[in-house]
Structure 1
């Protein structure tokens, strides 16, 4: 069942457990995709019948090995395109997600390979998410969510969630970016010897080295 909709489902299921362990529920999947729960139920049944997910009624949705391979292929497309838009066209990191959502379903494998080669085989996208290689391998350092890091913890920013463009802009204005070194304080973080108060919700979308 080759379709952009199916690929979006699989990519969303994969991304949900990429930075935490709890599997995604159908209601969470519906919320992330902005789709009615009844529509999600029907698509999950189709994906399960095709061997891409495992699911029991009212239970979590999990990728099978086949589903993981397909999800990784789509994740690779999305993140390479985001990186390409930033590096080659000057897009901001808060602007690329929606563009990549469209382009990932349209470009050829040949063009994707050319983009990867031109960019120098990048391992991470502009938000710090790992770009799977052509064989689906992913490399990632041990991590902790900033909200869960104790006061005094020092680490390098690995990833900033791209779900809220306004929050991305606010963090960029503060000087917090992927690869920044931060130290957790009682009221925020230290960056470059400056103590900064983070915007509301920021600690829930930033991951640092453990």
Structure 2
């Protein structure tokens, strides 16, 4: 997904991708509907749109799961959330405040901006919300973890 900008999906569809990633394989419409507090027909429409865009697989009578493209996007979404949360935490917000604030605007921050912020922060490996993965990060330099000796 080298051409991914990070701005492909609406905030609501991002929530669906994150939820499917968290839950794993074969998540049923009713589970998503209950979690998101949205009518099942709304979920079906949005998930079908995600499926036609290649992010989600639909197995009739079994549920939904992420495709490889969906998994890659979910990894980026987690990374984006964690980089932004760590940045806000650095500037004085608590971990909880950082997480909540980022959830309000993260869908509008591009992959390019995240890579630039990540680079300026020295490619942190752990944030206030958990581990930060860098395999999908377009690093300007070869980044190696410091060896403890």
- CA distance 1:6–1:82, change in 2 (3 Å): same
Kept in 1: contact 2:85–2:129 (CA 8 A)? no
Q: Which runs of 5+ in 2 are unaligned?
A: 1-6, 138-149
Instruction: Confirm or deny that 1:132 pairs with 2:133.
Output: yes
> 2:95 corresponds to which residue?
93
* Shift, 1:82, TM fit: 0.9
Query: Structure 1 CA distance, aligned partners of 2:132 and 2:34?
Result: 25
Structure 1 residues 3 and 127, CA gap change in structure 2 (3 angstroms): closer
DSSP 3-state at the match of 2:27? coil
1:134 Cα deviation after fit = 5.2
Structure 1 segments (4+ residues) deviating >6 Å = none
**Greater helix content:** 2
Q: Distance in 2 between matches of 1:120 and 1:34?
A: 39
Q: CA deviation at 1:53?
A: 0.9
Aligned to 1:76: 79
Deviation, 1:23, is 4.6
Contact map agreement 1:26 1:58 (CA 8 A) in 2: no
Deviation at 1:126?
0.8
Cα deviations across residues 52-85 of structure 1 (Å, max 9, x unaligned)?
1111334231111111112222221111111111
Name the TM-score, length of structure 1 as normaliser: 0.54
Does the CA contact (< 8 Å) of 1:48 and 1:55 recur in 2? yes
Deviation, structure 1 residue 3: 2.5
2:85 touches 2:128 (CA, 8 Å); kept in 1? yes
1:162 matched residue in structure 2: none
Q: Give 1 or 2: higher strand fraction.
A: 1
Q: CA deviation at 1:2?
A: 2.8
Partner of 2:16: 9
* 1:109–1:39 Cα change, 3 Å: same
Distance 1:36 1:64 in 2: 24
Q: Trace 1:195-210 onto structure 2 (pairs within 5 A).
A: none
**Aligned residues between the structures:** 130
Relative distance call for 1:90 and 1:24 in structure 2 (3 A) is: farther
Q: Which protein has the larger Cα radius of gyration, Structure 1 or Structure 2?
A: 1
